[in-house]
Structure 1
């Protein structure tokens, strides 16, 4: 039933599918993608010796060279004037001094608060901490925020726009609650603490006087001497009932350049070689903790990176046997995803091949594990698919056709909803292609207890399942690279700013 429905829909849209019979050539090359190869590559990339492949680190550069050597060995071209590297100009921003005191309470960074804003101050500012709660015009009319530290209650909301609105109203800084419960805050604070002293990596920008101190709901209540439930209620429409507190704060900032690279291997196509399919992953992770523990990043995103390598090898084998794809394929491993999708942002804004010629981006981020939703399921052969039908009416159906024909995985679209509270669509590198109206399809296994923990290690990877996912992605990529018509852009990007 499912096969017939999907195929009928595809044909109704004029998609050219030869039949549901398998193409022996595709099967042959897909079968070169093996669990053993995936394990070999990942055991190296996610080893302790690679020290978490942090953006700009020496180990990150070793990983980049490993990937470049791999593509060179496949016979791929280095597309950046013969090089396999695209330099990404980044800086590391260090906040050498961040202080916050409310009344007589001197708060401890990465314990009582985490600093998530920007600023550079020659001396500490003395002011009042006032409570605004929800950012509404009615509340702003009741609380004088000019020159003050302003307490915001932004649980379940996108805080960036709220912060901007309050800063534009004249606030000196923000004390923010973005989630309820001390345990939730402690997880974030512990991560900041483990990465303390390493700086924030990003593109060089002018400093904005925008101090933002994120605290737990319990800490916010303690600062105002008010129970959490009372504070939550006041946040709605009576913030003026919460007494202000004396406060002072200071932020001191410095910058240093960071050397980082996107890595790419290029396979030129035949009669449609001007059109380019991009297959991407991020090879960076988050390095080591302040105590020297390694964040191996086996699933995130070692799994995606080695999947790209195996898919590249399958295409290379085909090309060497005279079966080069019609369209060109760019295998792109980006840096700085963990710092804010930086490498893919830089590529999309400084593309090696014209954006107009980029037909589709296939992005692979975390495809080596089983998540909470499927850990107790009888059938664990699944993959989450995100973004595939927003910009093109064909892409989702092309992927489904290849899945029906070759791999028979469960294609789960639950995180493709525009109101997905996890916002997974916005959290990986396909986003930076979609913003230029390039059709995207993002493959993902969901999160688990080891996500962004030092326990994300190779021994927990489900290699046979990862092989099936990589083979599906290969089949879809092969189809996209060889079909007569490029993926049409007949949809609208309904998912804007992150």
Structure 2
């Protein structure tokens, strides 16, 4: 089902919302300090920080840097005076030496397959486990879809397509068309396989529907894999082995079973499907579990008048860290992803703190959460949302920064998953003030709304947005620069070449910070409680309304 906006929502999104005032002299967006912004990005992504992996020396350096920066700006530690919120985590490290045979085909680790186990089990030893193709691995009653219908998955391993049926048949009306739903995310697929009692789950990688190449899987899913410490019942029900297989090797496996992956994929897009391959899997590898706390950094700028009501800014400080098995450069510096976003919330915090010192504080409080473990599955934001420092029913909104714009100024402004909540109207209006047009992302099939920290809050009904950048450079010179920088950055997502570059044009990023700043400034003083529109996934949790409360007024 496609999500249709009601008439009132369309009015709000057309920038004619009546609840937001015109920009006053006291609401002017400050001039952000580009040199300071650059220095934060450069420092956090320097080799000294070793790629900022959770529970490493790189984390210790990052926590110290952020805590001192927030304190120097005049913010206070939100966790009983401390800037740190402990996040209990466990790191699972699967051996690089794996013996994996699917059907009669031996699999080569990294080249063909990447497997791990999120259990404290010393290792995995599976013999002759039946392989079952379960289409997209989706059980969604609201879409009348069940790929597991009639199956008993106990002792079996599921082979699962990436994304959801809407991607394959965007004009069919299935799911949300080309825009990925949460059912298309890898995290959901492993969760559902676990609920079905499967022994294991392996996703068949395909670059277009996944929206990233195999190299991202190889780089992100090898080495230590962090996760939250779960309760025993949840942990025990999880699949014993999970991972990815290349499309090429999966096709070879299906061929050996007398089946066609291409044909079955077509069937899976049209209707629920599951087919036993009449082949089995044997998997063996050592596995290590290590427990340690990681930390979110949580800093608050108290409001005056409605200080118990919170507006959150989030950005994940973590990246992939070190890979000592690599030849040459071994550090995943994560400059764009996400030293840039972390630097962004620091700069916004400083500007609001300066305004407060000048006698112009917001009525509502602002809290800045630099989260851990986003790259491992939104771990820090998931933990905060489940264990909030401030109650979620007092949390008005969340603005998330994840990889800022390094390609120069744009005439448009991208809102990922545009059309979900009234919170977006604040961005539409602020962007309009910059003579920019708010648009949806160009590739909704990549599931961007479900891939960053704002989603952890959306699942609880807190209006949350992920926005910034655009596709249309403001002039020919910027377009030329963008094309050149895009070529330089190609392949750097989750790779060692994501390093700070002194020639990045950050003017567009600074404008994006201004949009968030102005949106939070207005919401921080006007008492509105935005909600989710009817027809969206989160409407029932906090519905949009035409009547706004005035607690902060």
Q: Provide TM-score, normalisation by structure 1.
A: 0.81
Alignment of 1:69-468 (within 5 A): 69-96=68-95, 98-102=98-102, 105-115=105-115, 118=118, 120=121, 124-127=125-128, 129-130=130-131, 132=133, 134=135, 147-149=155-157, 151-153=159-161, 156=164, 158=184, 172-179=199-206, 186-192=214-220, 196-204=222-230, 206-207=235-236, 208-226=238-256, 230-233=260-263, 244-245=278-279, 247-290=281-324, 291=326, 292-370=329-407, 380-387=410-417, 389-392=419-422, 395-405=423-433, 407-414=434-441, 420-445=444-469, 449=490, 450-459=492-501, 461-468=504-511
- Residues 220 and 143 of structure 1: CA distance in aligned 2, closer, same or farther (over 3 Å): farther
Q: Secondary structure at the match of 1:318?
A: helix
Which residue of structure 2 aligns with residue 43 of structure 1?
42
Checking the alignment, whether the CA contact within 8 Å between 2:124 and 2:287 is kept in structure 1 is no
Q: Report the CA distance between 1:166 and its aligned residue.
A: 6.5
The count of corresponding residues between Structure 1 and Structure 2 is: 470
Separation (CA, whole Å) in 2 of partners of 1:349 and 1:433: 9
Q: Cα 1:78–1:348, aligned 2, differ >3 Å: closer, same or farther?
A: same
Match of 1:487 in 2: 529
Counterpart secondary structure, 1:421: helix
Give CA deviations for 1:391-429 in whole Å, capped at 9, x if unaligned.
Answer: 33xx22222222223x233422236x9xx2110000111
2:550 corresponds to: none
Which secondary structure does the structure 2 equivalent of 1:215 belong to? strand
2: CA distance, partners of 1:352 / 1:451? 32
Partner of 2:542: none
- Per the alignment, do residues 269 and 109 of structure 1 end up closer, same or farther by CA in structure 2, a change over 3 Å counting? same
Structure number with bigger Rg: 1
User: In the alignment, what sits opposite 2:24?
Assistant: 23
Q: Is the 8 A contact 1:381 1:410 kept in 2?
A: yes
The alpha-carbon deviation at position 358 of structure 1 amounts to 1.0
1:132 Cα shift?
3.5
174-183 or 72-81, which deviates more: 174-183
* CA distance in 1: counterparts of 2:198 and 2:57, whole angstroms: 41
Once the two structures are superposed, what CA deviation does each residue of 1:306-339 show, in whole Å capped at 9, x if it has no partner?
A: 1111111111111111111111111221111111
Check the 8 A contact 2:92/2:118 in 1, yes or no: no
Aligned to 1:322, the other structure's residue is in SS state coil
Residue-by-residue CA offset, 1:442-474 (whole Å, 9 max, x unaligned): 124489622222222221632122111112211
The 3 A distance-change label for structure 1 pair 141 and 258 is closer
**TM superposition shift of 1:92:** 0.7
Report if aligned partners of 1:201, 1:339 keep a CA contact under 8 Å in 2: yes
Query: Given the superposition, is the C-alpha separation of residues 310 and 8 from structure 1 closer, same or farther in structure 2, using an over 3 Å criterion?
Result: closer
Question: Relative to structure 2, which stretch is displaced further, 344-353 or 219-228?
Answer: 219-228
How much does 1:39 deviate?
0.9
Cα contact 1:285–1:300 (8 A) shared by 2: yes
Secondary structure of the structure 1 residue equivalent to 2:446:
coil
Q: Which moved more, 1:69-78 or 1:168-177?
A: 168-177
* Larger CA deviation: 135-144 vs 279-288: 135-144
Superposed CA offset, 1:249-295 (max 9, x none) = 23543321123111122111111222111111111111123325221
Structure-2-length-normalised TM-score: 0.74
CA contact under 8 A between 1:217 and 1:228: conserved in structure 2?
no
Distance (whole Å) between structure 1 residues aligned to residue 79 and residue 275 of structure 2: 61
In structure 2, distance between residues paired with 1:425 and 1:141: 28
Structure 1 residue corresponding to 2:512, chosen from 456, 462, 469: 469
Alpha-carbon distance in structure 1 between the residues aligned to 2:385 and 2:518: 25
**Is the alpha carbon distance of 1:256 and 1:474 closer, same or farther for their aligned partners in structure 2, counting shifts above 3 Å?**
same
**Aligned-pair distance for 1:139?**
9.1
Q: CA RMSD in A?
A: 3.7
CA distance in 2, matches of 1:39, 1:165: 42
